Structure 1
Amino acid sequence: MTRLERAEALDGASDKLQAVVSSVVGPRTLRDFLHGTKFGHPLHPVLVQVPLGAFLSAAVLDLIPGMHKAATTLIGVGTASVAPAAIAGWVDWSEMTPDRRRVGLVHAGTNAVAVVLYAGSLVARLTGHAARGRALAYAGLSVAGAGAFLGGHLSYAQGGGISHAAPQVALVPQEWTSVGSLSSLPEGKTAVRDAGGVPVLLYRRGDEVTALIERCSHEAGPLGDGEVIGSGQDACVVCPWHGSTFRLSDGLAVHGPAGNDQPSLPVRVVDGMVSVRRP
C-alpha cells in the first residue's frame, strides 16, 4: 500500500482524469450535492451501501436452492446502482491530494472490473446459464472485496473523506480557557488564537464572538488565512486551499468540497475576556 501511495507513474493518468471530472461536473451546486456538503456527511460512502448490499445478499441467496430469481434481481439492482455511487466517488477523488488519488485510481479500476464481472453474471443468468452466472458473481464479489479494502485504506489510513478538524476538538481543554481580550479581536474579521495548543478561529460581531476549529475539515487547510465573505449572521470563511466555505456563526458547510461541517466551540465573554472550551 505504501508503494502504491508513492507510485508517481500513476500521476499522468490521474491528472488527466482529474481535469476531465472537474470539467464535466462543473456547476458548484451539483458538486456540493455530490460531495454531500448539504447533508453534512460525504455522499459516496452512503451510496456505496446499495450495490455492495445487493451483491453480498445475492451471494447468500445463490447458496439457497430456489432463490436464483431473487439473486438475479439483486444483481440487477446492484449493477444499476453503481453509477451514482461511482459519480460521487469520482467527484470526491478529484479534490484529493496526489497520494490519495493514486490509491483512489486503483480503487476505482478494481471496482470497474467487479462491475464488468457482475454485468456478465447478469447476462449469463438472463440467458439461461445459471452456473456461469453464479461463478461470475462470486468472482465479482472477490474483486469488489479488494476494491473495498483499497477504499478503506484511502479513508482510514490516508484520511480521505474524513473530517480533519474533528480530532482537534478532543484536544481543546474541557474547562473554560482564555484566548484573549474582546478588544483585541478585530470587528467583522477572523483572528486565530491558541486554546491549549489548538488553533481556534474567532469571529467578532460587536460583543458577540463565535469560535471554530481553525483547520479546515476537508484537508486541514488554514482557515485563518481564508477570506471572509458575506456579513452578519451569514458571514462565511473560505478555505484558501480548496474553497470549502463555512458559516462563521455555527460552522455549517455552505460549499464544498468539504463534506462535513466545521466544528464549533462554546464561547463566553466575562469581564472583557474571551474563553472557549470543548463542547
Structure 2
Amino acid sequence: MPILNRLEEARRLDGVSDKLQAAVTAAVRPQRLRDLLHGTWLGHPLHPVLVQLPISAFVSTAILDLLPGRRRTATPLLATGVAAAVPAVAAGWLDWSQLTRDRRRVGLVHAGANAIAVGLYATSLIARLRGRTAAGKALGFAGLAVAGTGAYLGGHLSYAQGAGTNHAAPDLDRLPENWTEVCSLASVPERRTVVRLAGDVPILLYRIGDQVSALVERCGHETGPLGEGEVTGEGWNACVVCPWHGSTFRLSDGAVMHGPAANNQPLIPVRVSAGKIEIRQP
C-alpha cells in the first residue's frame, strides 16, 4: 500500500527512532535477559508468542461486553490481558531495537498504536473497577480498534518486510541439488572460518583436521557477513559472532547461542572426497 511505502521511507522518524534504540539497548544489558526476550532459547522470536495472550483476552472481553450479564467475567479477563501485555511489549521493543531503519520506522508506529491500545484497556479496567461499566466498555472497544491497527502494521513488518524471519534460509534453495565441489581441503586453514562460493551463494567453512562444517554465510538475523565475524571458543564448540548485531552461532551445527537471532543458522551438508570439499542442498 502507498501509505505503508511512505511510512517505510519516513526519515523524519529516524531522530526519535535512534534515541529510542539507544535507550532500549542501554536498558536491557544482561545477555541472558536479551536472549530470553529475543527467543533464542525457543528457536524463533518470543514476541509473537507473548502477544497471543493479551490479544485473545482483549478480543474475548469485547465479545463478553456484547453479551448481557457478563460484567464480572469480562473484568478479570481484561485485567489478565493488560498484565500479559507487559512482557509482550518488552520483547517487542528489544526485537525492534535490532532492526534496520526502514523496519524501525514501521515498528515505531506499530508500537505507538499498541501503547495507545494498552492505555485504553488499562483505563477501561479502572473504569470497570469503579463501577462505570458503560465507559469501560466504550474504552475497551476503542482499544480493540486501535490494537487492530497495530496488528496490521505488525503483519506488514513480519510478512512484507521480513522482520523476525530467517533471512539466510532462502539461500539453501539456491544451492546445487547434487554434490558439488567448492574448494580443496588444503585451501581451508584449520580452526578459522573462510568463505567460499557455491554458484553465487557464500558459504562459511570451518575445518578441524579432515572434518569440515558448512553454514550459510549471511547471518539469518539481518544478513550480516559472518565471514568477517570473530571466532570464539575452541574445537567444535567454537562459535562465530556476527559483526553487525552480535548474534552468535556454533560452527559445528549452526545452533544459535546468543541473539538477537532467534533461529539457528542454516547448516549445509558437506563431505570431503579425494581431498575436495563438496556441498549440496539439505
1:115 maps to 2:110? no
Separation in 2, partners of 1:178, 1:237:
24
1:71 shift after superposition: 1.7
Separation in 2, partners of 1:119, 1:226:
45
Deviations 1:211-251 (A, max 9, x none): 10110011001111111111101111111111111100000
User: 2:252 pairs with 210, 226, 249, which one?
Assistant: 249
1:99 — aligned with what?
102
1:10 maps to 2:20? no
1:62 shift after superposition: 2.1
User: 1:48 pairs with 41, 47, 51, which one?
Assistant: 51
1:23 shift after superposition: 1.1
Q: Aligned AA for 2:192?
A: K
Query: 5 Å matches for 1:40-189?
Result: 40-189=43-192
Q: Aligned AA for 2:154?
A: G
Separation in 2, partners of 1:61, 1:175:
58
1:152 shift after superposition: 1.1
1:34 maps to 2:37? yes
Separation in 2, partners of 1:26, 1:184:
40
1:83 shift after superposition: 0.8
Q: Secondary structure at the match of 1:221?
A: coil
1:203 — aligned with what?
206
Deviations 1:59-116 (A, max 9, x none): 2222233322222221110011111011111111111111111111111111011011
Normalising by structure 1, we get a TM-score of 0.96
Separation in 2, partners of 1:140, 1:49:
16
**Does the 8 Å CA contact 1:246/1:255 hold for their aligned counterparts?**
yes
Q: Secondary structure at the match of 2:41?
A: helix
Q: Secondary structure at the match of 1:275?
A: strand
RMSD: 1.3
Separation in 2, partners of 1:116, 1:93:
20
**Does the 8 Å CA contact 1:177/1:196 hold for their aligned counterparts?**
no
**Does the 8 Å CA contact 1:203/1:209 hold for their aligned counterparts?**
yes
Separation in 2, partners of 1:121, 1:243:
41
Stretches of structure 1 lacking an aligned partner (at least 5 in a row): none
Q: Aligned AA for 1:177?
A: T
1:235 — aligned with what?
238
Q: Secondary structure at the match of 2:51?
A: helix
Separation in 2, partners of 1:50, 1:175:
45
Identical positions, percent:
64
Separation in 1, partners of 2:170, 2:138:
44
Separation in 2, partners of 1:200, 1:66:
63
**Does the 8 Å CA contact 1:35/1:88 hold for their aligned counterparts?**
yes
1:140 shift after superposition: 0.7
Stretches of structure 2 lacking an aligned partner (at least 5 in a row): none
Separation in 2, partners of 1:70, 1:170:
50
Separation in 2, partners of 1:42, 1:49:
13
Normalising by structure 2, we get a TM-score of 0.95
Separation in 1, partners of 2:42, 2:80:
24
